[in-house]
Amino acid sequence: MLVDISNGQTLFSREEHRRFVPASVTKVMTAYTAFKLIDEGKLRPDARFAYSQELEDAWYNEGSNMFLRAGEQPTIGQLLLGITTVSGNDASVAIAVAATGSLDSWLELMNANATQLGMRDTHFGSPNGFPDGGQTYTSARDLALLGEAITQRYPSLYHRYFGHRTLRWRDITQANHDPVTGRVDGADGLKTGYTREAGFTFLGSAKRDGQRLVMVLAGSPDGGLRDRTARALLNWGFDEFERETVIPGGAKVGDALVQDGTSESVTLETGKPVVVNLARGQEDKRIDMEIRYRGPVQAPIAAGAEIARLRLTLNGELAMEVPLVAGADVPKANALQRVVNAWKKWLA
């Protein structure tokens, strides 16, 4: 799947709602959960965590590893780098215990965040994607939502912890397996994954000239194939489309009916310009638009409030949906105004 999150347009998708095992791509949600706690002031990057013998016994050299030892006291920031750079299974469990005291509590946070982001085909049974009997699963659409959320909601933390090429812990230096950062112009993350059950998976992102793409690739039988395809898909998304503004920002595109307001309707406007990616050289470029909302909209309504969606289809295929905002305030009608409105509707 390839999505331009700058405008919400899907550039390519295949079986986007099909559930699959994400393997270590799970760690992007662990990073997101940590970023959210840091942003809320509930977790400090410089706070230290005493790594226990129990954790070492359970996780030392188990798959991808930061190779933490009992008695070491890494900071939360170092654990995050261990997760995002070298895919540390041990670092993922460590940050879960450090932040909440238990894996169960951490998993509750991960799944609550998934629900909040609208990841309907996702469940997390571990903080690192280690095989867990099928408890952890996701979809391409859901991972695209996660990629959008982590890059847009926490951009400074994202740039601080993603995109590093190597990590040194004690006398051990390891390389990042991210196949696009440093190889595709504008690429800056995110995360690879592999287990025998999952195959080779990747959630990636790149930004050029204010346009950010997020891509998902899952179930590849070969790591080299995954890496080449990831680079090709991102480059294709930037190189083979031209951006066209089809509606300027602040333009009136229609009206919505209002319930119990001082006005019977309110104008619907675009909050920002509506930009569409069009395939280069494509002669037939038919764009259709449809306004959708649950109405009538209950007053009071504040100007600028998102109350409808504009659905755009390109040559009959759904391209994207963009929010529409109220163009004016509509106060709640008083008792007399409601009577007058009722009579108007009856007479009509």
| Residue 191 assigned ligand-binding role | yes
**Secondary structure of residue 130 in the 3-state scheme:** coil
Residues 337 and 310: beta-carbon distance below 8 Å: no
How do 317-326 and 306-314 pair as beta strands? antiparallel
Active-site annotation, residues: 24, 27, 87
Distance, in Å, from the CA atom of 272 to the CA atom of 324, rounded to the nearest integer, reads 9
Distance, in Å, from the CA atom of 14 to the CA atom of 110, rounded to the nearest integer, reads 26
Instruction: Tell me which residue of 197, 215, 204 sits closest to 176, measured CA to CA.
Output: 204
Distance, in Å, from the CA atom of 66 to the CA atom of 191, rounded to the nearest integer, reads 15
What Cα–Cα distance (Å) separates residue 49 from each residue in 97, 104, 295, 300, 304? Answer: 9, 18, 52, 50, 45
What secondary structure does DSSP assign to 199-214, as a single string? EEEEEEEEEETTEEEE
Distance, in Å, from the CA atom of 11 to the CA atom of 5, rounded to the nearest integer, reads 10
Number of helical H runs and strand E runs in the chain: 9, 15
In Å, the largest CA–CA distance within the chain is 83
Burial zone of 132 (CB within 10 Å; 0-12 exposed, 13-18 middle, 19+ buried): middle
Residues β-bridged to residue 247: 274
Residues 275 and 7: beta-carbon distance below 8 Å: yes
Binding site for substrate, by residue number, is 191
